[in-house]
Amino acid sequence: MIKKNGQLIITTPNIQNVKSKLQFLFKSEFHWFQENEFGNKGSRHIHPLYLGEIIFLLEKYNFKIDKITENRTSGYTLYYTDKDNLFKKFNYAVLNFFSDMSYRILSVFMFPKNRSLLLGDILIIKATKK
């Protein structure tokens, strides 16, 4: 339970950024919700949440949203561990390149308040209990 004026900080994968949307378009799965580059399914997230859903829940339970930001831009580190995964890793690298290029192109047309949704890999929401 959070008392009145208590602080709540939520971090969640940003499924609304360019990289995640492109991955969903081409692979039918969001970034952070697929098996990782080593074939491990245990470390992925279970249920994606849109920012609108989080805002709705926070307001429903009497929280005032103080700030919405992101941790960093989307990125991908390419590790070559074996030949079988080389093609898969190449696909991730290409996807990352095009999502970064798309962001640079789209950011010209976006309002600054949408920067976190378009750019951030992880959303960080700070809220206060009313």
| Per-residue pLDDT at 6 | 96
Report which secondary-structure segment, H or E, holds 127: strand 122-129
Report which secondary-structure segment, H or E, holds 112: none
| Per-residue pLDDT at 85 | 54
| Per-residue pLDDT at 36 | 62
pTM: 0.61
pLDDT digits (tens, 9 = 90+) for 29-74: 777 766 666 666 655 666 788 888 999 999 999 999 999 888 765 4
pLDDT digits (tens, 9 = 90+) for 76-125: 433 334 444 555 555 555 556 655 555 555 554 544 455 667 777 888 89
Q: Is 48 helix (H, G, I), strand (E, B) or coil?
A: coil
**Largest distance between two CA atoms of the chain:** 55
| Per-residue pLDDT at 90 | 55
| Per-residue pLDDT at 10 | 93
Could you identify the residue written with the tokens 């919405």? 68
* Higher pLDDT pick, 35 / 20: 20
* Higher pLDDT pick, 130 / 105: 130
Instruction: With CA atoms as reference, report the closest residue to 51 among 125, 130, 128.
Output: 125
- Any bridge partners for residue 27, and if so which? none
Domain boundaries, the chain: 7-129
